[in-house]
Amino acid sequence: MKQTSPCSQAPPGNTLLPRLRRGDLSLRFDMKAKPSRRRIPRQSLGTRQSTRALRVLHLVTASCLLLTAYLTLPARADEPVARRASDGRLHIDSVVLSLIDQVEVSARQAGVLDEIPVAEGQAVEKGQLLARLEDTEAKLALAKTKLQADIAKKEAESDVKIRYAKKSLDVAAAEEKRALDSSGKFKQSVSQTELDELRLAKERAALEAEQAAEDRDIAKLTAALKQNEVETAEYNLDRCHIVSPLTGVVVSIKRHQGEALQPGDSVMRIVRTDPLRVEAFLNSREIGGDLVGRPVVLTVDLPERPKAEFPGSIVYVSPEVNPVSGQFRVWAQIANPDKLLRPGLQGSMTIVPAGQ
């Protein structure tokens, strides 16, 4: 049986092997040939600009859609919205107490922190000393300027030079008069040169009197200048003393004795807990009229005092209304003289109608 070579069995449509068996040398492969690349025509300048403008348009459109979606969002669920009761009172189920005044007390000038006479949790009054920088140099400068001011004040108050100048003028005038009288009675008794010298002495005394008056005026101005230097020295000494700008409680002390401070470095934080603020949102479509001064009642749960009530009043009504929800914001001020309330406590608030 005749065996056929695998190379002789070519699949239908394959003409490569038969051509090789026939010795067809016309088939050659160029090993150095590079695959053809289809050249992509470059976009024209106008096309590129159009593409870029289209991208910008897409970006602007997306931004507008995001803004529209944000504006059409409903009111947040955590915003305390009021509901009206049958007796006309407005109830806000969830409110939070917050601070009205709080301050970061900072150093007003560079120096070394020398004393902190207060502690965290301590109640302080407005103007009370909270901390003191090293103030020895400032005290010495103040003492020096006070002495200089005292000297200048004494010189301004003294009129000795003025009185002496006036006496000198009187004497010079009297001498000139006697010389003129003598010359009138007795010819050649007083020479013209002597008369000129006496006249010059009188004029000199008059000028010295004027100069003494001007010197006293200058002494008064110098005394005022020295007094201003005293006030400046007192101010510099006062800047070494850090005092409380409000009545409240020290909640944190951030520096320690011996630390070097720069102007603006925070030393401690003070909060005022009386009064406190409560914020609520009201519906402008249902509530109108002037709400400022309207009484409110805050209800909170305290230890051993559930449903404790605290009176207050509305002190601020926002002039802006949310265009989507139709709500506006109000602030109520709650008195806290006994410090039973603390910022962050949650409760409910009732707005009492006018006249009740």
C-alpha closest to that of 198 among 188, 185, 183: 183
Check pLDDT > 60 for residue 205: yes
Task: Determine contact, residues 277/330, Cβ cutoff 8 Å.
Answer: no
Query: What CA–CA distances, in Å, run from 355 to 133, 134, 280, 340, 352?
Result: 55, 59, 21, 29, 8
- Domain 102-133+240-272 matching CATH 2.40.10.10: the answer reads no
Report the pLDDT averaged over residues 208-226: 92
Q: What residue segments make up the domains of the chain, in order of their start? A: 83-99+273-351, 102-133+240-272, 136-220
H or E stretch at 104: strand 101-106
What string of H, E and C letters represents the secondary structure of 198-255? HHHHHHHHHHHHHHHHHHHHHHHHHHHHHHHHHHHHHHHHHHCEEECCCCEEEEEECC
- Contacts of residue 17, Cβ cutoff 8 Å, sequence gap at least 6: 7, 8, 10
- Contacts of residue 292, Cβ cutoff 8 Å, sequence gap at least 6: 314, 315, 316, 317
Check pLDDT > 80 for residue 33: no
Homologous superfamily of 83-99+273-351: Efflux pump adaptor protein, beta barrel domain (2.40.30.170)
| pLDDT tens digits, one per residue of 128-178 | 999 999 999 999 999 999 999 999 999 998 888 888 988 988 898 888 888
pTM over 0.75: no
Least confident interval from 37-41, 98-102, 145-149: 37-41
**CA dist., res. 104 & res. 312, Å (int):** 27
Amino acid symbol at 120: E
| pLDDT tens digits, one per residue of 272-331 | 999 999 998 888 877 767 788 889 999 999 988 889 999 999 999 998 998 888 888 899
